[in-house]
Structure 1
Amino acid sequence: MDNICIKCAKCNPVCPTFLESYDEVYSPRGYLHLCELMGQQAFQSREEIFQVLSTCTQCGDCEPLCPIDLPIVKIIAKTLSCG
C-alpha cells in the first residue's frame, strides 16, 4: 500500500461499525491496519482478519474526513478480494 493511515481518528465518529462497537479494530483505521498487516503478510490468522474486514459497511463516510485522502473503501475491498 502506497499510503499509510496517519492514525488521526477523524474517521471514527462517522463509522457505523465503530459507533456500534466502540472497538478500535472495527474502525477505518483499525481496518487499514489489518490491510497493512495483510500486505506485509504479518498476521497470525488470515481468516480472523477477513472476518473483521468483512464487517466494514463500505459506506464511504470515512473517506471525506481523511486528511491524506486515502481511498479507504477501495483498500479494504482490494484486501478482501485477495482472499
Structure 2
Amino acid sequence: MPSKDEQDMLRRLRELEEENARLRSATKPAKPTVTETEYKGHPTLTFEGAFRPFSLGLKKLLVIREVWPEVEAFLERHSEVTPKPTDDH
C-alpha cells in the first residue's frame, strides 16, 4: 500500500497533468480573469487564464503599484507589439 507521501505526490502529479492538458488544449489565449480571494485571512487577487494560475497579496500589489511606470517601460521594451499605424503613410 502506498504511503501518505506517495499518495500526495500521485495526487499532485495527476493535478499537474490535468492542468498541463488544459493549457495545451487552449486554442487561443483566453482573457485572464482576476478574482478576489483570501489566503490565511489575508486578501489576495488570483489570476487565471491560459497560464498557470497565480495569486498576489496586498503587499506585493502595493509594491507593483508603486513601481508601475517601470513595469510599463519594461513591457514596452520586451513585448512583441505590432507597430501602430502612422499618419504619414
Q: Which has the higher contact order (CA 8 A, sep 6+)?
A: 1
Which of the five TM-score ranges fits, normalised by the shorter chain? under 0.3
State TM-score, norm by structure 1.
0.24
Larger radius of gyration: 2
Structure with greater helix share of residues: 1
State TM-score, norm by structure 2.
0.23
Structure with greater strand share of residues: 2
